Structure 1
Amino acid sequence: MIIGTGIDLVDVPRFERTVARTPRLLQRLFTEREQGMRLSSLAARYAAKEALIKTLGGSDGVHWTEIEIASEASGKPHFVLSGTTAAVVEQRGITALHLTLTHDAGLAAAFVVAEGEPL
């Protein structure tokens, strides 16, 4: 059963200006593995993290660096959660998260669907 959805859209040039102005933002928002990626890919990952927070209905117990967006061999993105963020997802009865990302024409977007049994 679908128990939540979330979507987010990021203006990539604005994201790039923000990172240039505040470089430490990368350490606060992204895991070490994510930090070396191109800014357009990071913008899509930022959108994914925002979309996940929307899916959960808020950010209580959620920490940015406990959410990593990794890719399967096929390129399909998926969440790798840890710490209290993983616990929040489990507490909400979520058993599967589905993620899609895109970036083109200066925009990055992410859509998340959470499946599980509502509590």
Structure 2
Amino acid sequence: MRIGTDLVEIKRIDRLMHEESFLMRVYTKAERELADRMGPKRRAEFFAGRFAVKESVAKAIGTGIGQGINWRDIETLQQENGEPFTRITGQAFARMHERGLSRVHVSISHAGGLALAFVVLT
């Protein structure tokens, strides 16, 4: 079992999300499509929460982003009830597998202009 957490300023992501190159580099097509269905305030929270998940997963794997792990290797969507779930692909998946990890448990919170993600890999 490994854990990772990250805290992101929503305002920072709100500024960055207006740059198409940032969105294309960091978020999967499915993440962008899900965000497009939300209002402006919720959209910034959504992207900030997903950014925090990506960082948290990379920290839990033990590499951080880079070293072959791509932002889009870590995708967080939501189930019908709104519960987030995370899919790992590419090098991130390979690194998890090397460490004997196969499941991702994720929690995302937003408060006071911040987005927090907490991840447990088992």
Aligned to 2:120: 113
Does the alignment pair 1:5 with 2:3?
yes
Q: Determine if contact 2:58/2:92 at 8 Å carries over to the other structure.
A: no
Once superposed, what is the RMSD of the aligned Cα atoms?
A: 1.4
Report the TM-score when normalising by structure 1: 0.85
Alpha-carbon distance in 2 for matches of 1:85, 1:57: 10
C-alpha displacement of 1:73: 2.1
Does the alignment pair 1:43 with 2:41?
no
Paired-residue identity, %: 33
Q: Determine if contact 2:9/2:113 at 8 Å carries over to the other structure.
A: yes
Q: Determine if contact 1:62/1:84 at 8 Å carries over to the other structure.
A: yes
Which has the larger share of strand?
1
Within a 5 Å distance, the mapping from 1:53-72 to structure 2 comes to: 53-59=58-64, 60-72=67-79
C-alpha displacement of 1:23: 3.1
Letter in 1 for 2:86: F
Q: Match of 2:17, SS? A: helix
Does the alignment pair 1:31 with 2:28?
yes
Give the number of equivalent residue pairs. 112
Runs of 4+ deviating beyond 3 Å: none
Structure 1: which 5+ runs fail to align? none
Structure 2: which 5+ runs fail to align? 36-42
Q: Determine if contact 1:41/1:103 at 8 Å carries over to the other structure.
A: no
Does the alignment pair 1:98 with 2:105?
yes
Letter in 2 for 1:79: T
Alpha-carbon distance in 2 for matches of 1:14, 1:65: 19
Which has the larger share of helix?
2
Report the TM-score when normalising by structure 2: 0.83
Alpha-carbon distance in 1 for matches of 2:97, 2:83: 22
